[in-house]
Structures are given as C-alpha cells and as structure tokens.
Amino acid sequence: MASKTRQQNVTAAQWAGTGDGSGQSDITESAAAIYGENVFNIAAQKARLQKTVFTKLQKTLADGAPLDPALADAIADAMRSWAMEHGATHFTHWFQPLTNMTAEKHDSFFEPVGDGTALAAFSGKELIQGEPDASSFPTGGIRATFEARGYTAWDPTSPAFILENPNGSVLCIPTAFVSWTGEALDHKTPLLRSMDSLSSVALRALKLFGDKVAARVFTTVGPEQEYFLIDEQYFYERPDLYTTGRTLFGAKPPKGHELDEHYFGTIPERVLACMLETERELQRLGVPVKTRHNEVAPSQYELAPIFENSNVGSDHQQLTMQVLENVARRYGLVCLMHEKPFAGVNGSGKHNNWSMGTDSGQNLLEPGDTPAENIQFLFFCVAVIAAVDRHQELLRASVANVGQDHRLGANEAPPAIISIFLGRELERAFNAVASGKATDSAAGNFLGLGTPVLPPLPLHGGDRNRTSPFAFTGNKFEFRALGSSMSLGFVNTALNTIVAESIDMMVDEVEAAKKKGKKRPDAILDTIKKTWKAHKRIVFDGDGYADAWQKEAAARGLANLRTTPDALPWIVAKSTVQVFEQYNVLNERELEARFEVAVEQYSTKLNIEAETAASMARTMILPAAVRYLAECKEAGMTSLASELKSSADEFVKRLRVLEKANASHPAAEGLKEAEYMRDKVIPAMDKTRETADKLEGLVADDLWPLPKYSEMLFIK
C-alpha cells in the first residue's frame, strides 16, 4: 500500500482542463474584444458622458490640472451606471497603504428611501473623497490610533475598474490615501508628486534643445514579475508557507535547476491554463500583458507587460499580483510572491524597466539618428547616471526588505552594490565626448562645424549584463534589484525624484555657462563632459558576482549595504530629505514614517518567521525524529539509532538557542531591534534549519511531517 505521502503526490499531480478557453476567437476583432472591457476608460467615458463634460475631463487629465468639482456629479453618475451594468453593487476607494498591498472598503450603491425600497445613487462627493478611517495601517507615527480621520482622494489619471466575483462585482476607484493633516500615507501620493516634479524639470531641459512641442514628460515602467506556482495541497501542509510565504525548513533535493531544462521550456499544461486565464482577466482590466515564460528555478515563472505611465503601471502591477494569486487557486495552485520561498534555488525579483517620454511621443532615453538627437539623449542619459551615483544608497534602501536579504548578491540577483551597466558602445561614446576625440560634424549640424559630436548610436550598443543592478537596455534603464513582492511605488518615486534633481543641476550649469558668454551647444556639451567625469565611477560592465568587484567597488567609493538594517537608514539621510523636500515629494516627517514602517515590518516579519520555525521544530520535526529513533532502537539498528540520536540532540540544543533568541528581544525598538533580529535571531534560525534539513535525510519518509522540495517543486 502506498504511503500517505505518495497518495498526496498522486492527488497533486492529477488535473484535467475544463476546456473553457479553447477555441477562443481573435480578441482584436470588435465582436470578441475583451481588452479594457472592465475599465472605465476613455472609450467608456466618451460613450456615457456629455460631450462638454468628456472634453473638460480629458483636458484636465492632459494638463495635469485639478478636477473641476462641477464635473464630479456627472462623472460619478456615469461611472455608477456603467459599473451596475457590469454587475457591480458596491464601490470602493482602492488605495495602496505602506504595506506593499492594496486596501478596500466597500460601500453599497443602494440607499433606502422612505417607502421601504432602495435607490441606486453615487455622488460626485463620494467619488472624489472618502473617509475610510483605516487607522490601523502602519503610519510610522504620522497618525495615532485614536486619530481616525484618513482620507482617500480620487486619482482621475488612473481609470476605475471592475473586480468580478462569482457572487457580484465591485467598482474600484484608484485613490490616494492621506492623513487629516495632508501627509502621504500611501505609495501613490508621492509617486504622483515625483512625476510632476520630473516633468517640470525635464521640460526645462527640453527647451535647451529647442523642443517647443512637448507639454509634459512622463516616466514609464514595464515591470517583469517573477513568481512560483505550487500545488495548494503542499502549501496548506506547511505552516511556514501559509504563515510567512517561504519555507523555513527543507533539504536540498537531488535535482534543482542544474540541467536548465525548465528555463524557457514548455510550459506545463495546468500552469499554462492558469496563465491563459490570468492574462484574459488582466486584459479585461486593461493591463497590457505581453510576455510569459518558465523562469530558471523549477516551478518558477514570469509575466511582463508593455510599458505604461508609471502611475498607471504601478496600479496595474498591484492588480497583476492580486489576479495571479486569485486565479491560481482556481487551478489548485498557490502563487508565491516571496523573494526566496525555497532555499538553494533561484529566488524571484521584479525588474523595473524605467524610462522618460514626452506627451508628443518622444522617448528621451532612446538614441537618435543624428548627432543632435544623440546629444539630447546623452544629456538625459548622463543625468540618470549622475542621479544613481549621488543617491546609490537611497536606491539600495528602496529595494530593501527581509526577503531581499536572501536574494541580493546570491549569484541569482544583482549584488547589494549599486552600479550601472551601459554597454560597450555607449560607454565608448561618453568617453569620446569627454576626450573631445569623437567624429567631427558636418556644417549645419546642431553643434556647428568642427565641433566634436557623436555618430548615430545603435539601439543595442552592447550585450546585457544580468549581474548589474541598473542596466541600460536600449531605450530604458532596467532596475533589476526589486523584490518580487514589492510595490513599485517607492522605488519609482525615488528614481523620479533623484533624476529630477540631476536634470535640474545640469540645466543650471548650462544656463550659468550661457550667462558667461558660452554658446548654448558648447555649454551643453561641456555639462555632459563634466557630469560624466564626475560620476562615471558608478559604471561597471564586469561580473558583479566576482569577489574582485567587492574590492574594486570599495576603492571607487561605492556603498555595499549588505542587509536591510544597513540600507534603511538612508531613507532618512540628510541627502535624501534634502532632495525629497526640494521637489515637494515627501517631507522629513513623511520620510521618517516610511523608515519606521520599513524597520518595524522587517523585525515583525522576522519575528513571525522565527516563532513559526521554533513551533514547527518542536511540534512537528522533533516528534518525527523521536518516533523514528524509537523504531530504530526497537529494530536493533544501533548504528543508525546512534547517528539519529546525535543529530536529534544537536537539534534540541539549537532549537533552545532559537527559542531563547525569540524571547530575548531588546527593550529598544526600531533599528536596534532590527539589528538584533539580523545578528541573533537569523543565525539561530539558520542553525536550527541546518540540523532539521540533516534530519530530513535520516528520518523515514512516511514519518516526515512536511512536503519535501522534490515534491513541491517538481509535481505540477
């Protein structure tokens, strides 16, 4: 008779498709179009709003101006009517608190009237502002628990959408979330502020190049989301997975991803079915999903969208994670977003492809066809380089969390040292400008006869470097250091803000040189040269995993913030406060709040992990070892019993060290507690796991209480 474990494996491996998605028609045909059907987008607005209201709304959005309250009632009524036709009975202000997740509080459209019936209503006031209380979200001291007022404010630049449920639907209205005193309690508010600041300074720079068309500059993102899918049966048999999102115990399986057969391989049938339904739901929500494939680790996958405006793209990224998790359950799967759910195999990141573009359709980080276009490109490109160099520690802090400490620098993700990869051709071009030995221009070119300028640059002027945290990849920079569970909000807020500062400083230099009599083209070129020379130390095209890079980076003066407690203080560093306040993105109190929330979450999550590990060790793993030890003794297997007892005794000692560490937290909170968790609790957890994983290889399979890696990762 098969063991209980084997019966579970057979059950987990059984799946039969329903065929619901077979024979799907061409979604580009009007009769079958599903893209954006659950979004109150421009098409839906145009169909339902009076022409004057629609025109004013679109002008408001295009200009980035505040919404005229007089329009609100008309928009709200049209939105309600549209939502109810899609089955919605409730609405919610959908916002993003400082938890990397989204938040909802549903209110019904229906209101009772005096005759015992109810009418559907939704006012402009309800659309524009809500007061959800939401006082229990982490605020870092901005709000005391008894201060209940917290406001949500409609973000009209991100369209409302419908989330469907088998028993009904809800209208979700993307909103900002602020305190009674107007301080940002979310990720959206500072992101929008940073986009406005960058737009303002980028337009100032474009005037240097004679651009009279662009009225606004947008930053764009295209996040590549990595994730794991495992059978839900295994998930719910492991307290570590359903409590912390990662396995706290688990021996290395005989097979990992050494054979590379999973990477870009044929997608398993059940997984592909899940992906197809996920993509259909995302398309209906207007999320422009484009790419799917197997990733490196077994049971690891990736999904990527087309570039979008950073604000909308960040909202869509939160939706993507939510839909992935929801749809997976329909296929008997669980989607894991943790950065390192399984030790010994690659973890999951989220590559943040970032660029800048104008409302006239120009990508400011795309090389051009003429020397003039390339000088503009180099101007904006070197501004990004300078920003990353000046604020490398802040960028590292923006991607710091407890899951990331398992991943960054572990030969599967970029190192904790922030550097930029440009590619050989682009780096050569900057060096040529700096030396003044580039190709001479012909008469009539932007910089004039005889002035050193660049020849046209190829779109892909060099190979990629997967070990680089921040790589130029043709017409964008790819910030590869984000964790898979993270919101895009703070990362892109930081990027937008520091690049705005950098562009501003370069424009100031050009303007100062012009006042001293230097011609505009020469002033621009001199500023590019000076900026490149001052900040080229951040550029590195070698192996970021090599030990030699650690030494070279130190010699260059680059920071190496290995752990989250090392990195987080840079959120409140003087240089960070100065740049965020200068561009009206976050004030010192708002930054301090984010620092305190991040530190608290680090310690809290580690404490949950440590207590879960201790509980599993004492109540699941140790009893299994004791039972098998008794069986070995009864069978007269003295040699095996001796080996097992030695490991079990070591396990008990290490477990007691872990339990003591869990009970001995310092009285001080904040960073001191985070450092204690890093220096005392994590080593105790690691030692306990080391012996537990050894026991996994000794205890009889039918007695071992946890699904093993070889089952979770390879049974699909």
As to burial, measured by CB atoms within 10 angstroms (0-12 exposed, 13-18 middle, 19+ buried), residue 45 is buried
Helices 310-330, 269-284: crossing angle, 10 deg rounding: 140
Name the DSSP class of 716. -
Look up the pTM and report it. Answer: 0.92
Q: What is d(CA 653, CA 637) in angstroms, rounded to the nearest whole number? A: 24
**681: pLDDT strictly greater than 90:** yes
Sign of the Cα torsion 410, 411, 412, 418 reads positive
Average pLDDT over residues 333-341: 97
Q: How far is CA 147 from the centre of its chain?
A: 30
As to burial, measured by CB atoms within 10 angstroms (0-12 exposed, 13-18 middle, 19+ buried), residue 165 is exposed
Contact 716, 13 (CB under 8 A): yes
Strands 350-358 and 217-231: antiparallel
**Quick one: pLDDT at residue 409?**
77
> How do residues 600-631 score in pLDDT, each as one tens digit?
999 999 999 999 999 999 999 999 999 999 99
**393: pLDDT strictly greater than 80:** yes
Query: Which residue intervals of 583-712 are DSSP H helices?
Result: 588-616, 622-634, 638-663, 671-676, 682-696, 709-712
Is 667 or 343 the better-scoring residue by pLDDT? Answer: 343
Mean pLDDT of the residues in the chain = 88
Is 623 or 185 the better-scoring residue by pLDDT? Answer: 623
* Token pair of 588 as six digits: 């010192």
Q: What is d(CA 308, CA 269) in angstroms, rounded to the nearest whole number? A: 30
> How do residues 552-600 score in pLDDT, each as one tens digit?
999 999 999 999 999 999 999 999 999 999 999 999 999 999 999 999 9
DSSP string for 451-462 = -B-PPPPPSS-S
Average pLDDT over residues 236-253: 96
Is 120 or 536 the better-scoring residue by pLDDT? Answer: 536
Name the DSSP class of 65. P
Contact 693, 621 (CB under 8 A): no
Contact 305, 35 (CB under 8 A): no
pLDDT band at 12 (very low <50, low <70, confident <90, very high): confident
Query: Which residue intervals of 562-587 are DSSP H helices?
Result: 564-567, 574-582
Tell me the domains of the chain and their CATH numbers.
27-185 (3.10.20.70), 195-586 (3.30.590.10), 599-712 (1.20.120.1560)
Residues in the chain: 716
Average pLDDT over residues 256-270: 82
Contact 372, 493 (CB under 8 A): no
**145: pLDDT strictly greater than 70:** no
**Quick one: pLDDT at residue 460?**
57
Contact 421, 466 (CB under 8 A): no
**What phi and psi values does residue 27 have, to the nearest 5 degrees?**
-75, -5
Torsion of CA 17, 20, 24, 28, to 10 degrees: -120
Q: Percent helix, strand, coil in the chain (nearest 5)? A: 50, 15, 40
**212: pLDDT strictly greater than 70:** yes
Average pLDDT over residues 407-414: 81
Helices 371-390, 489-515: crossing angle, 10 deg rounding: 120
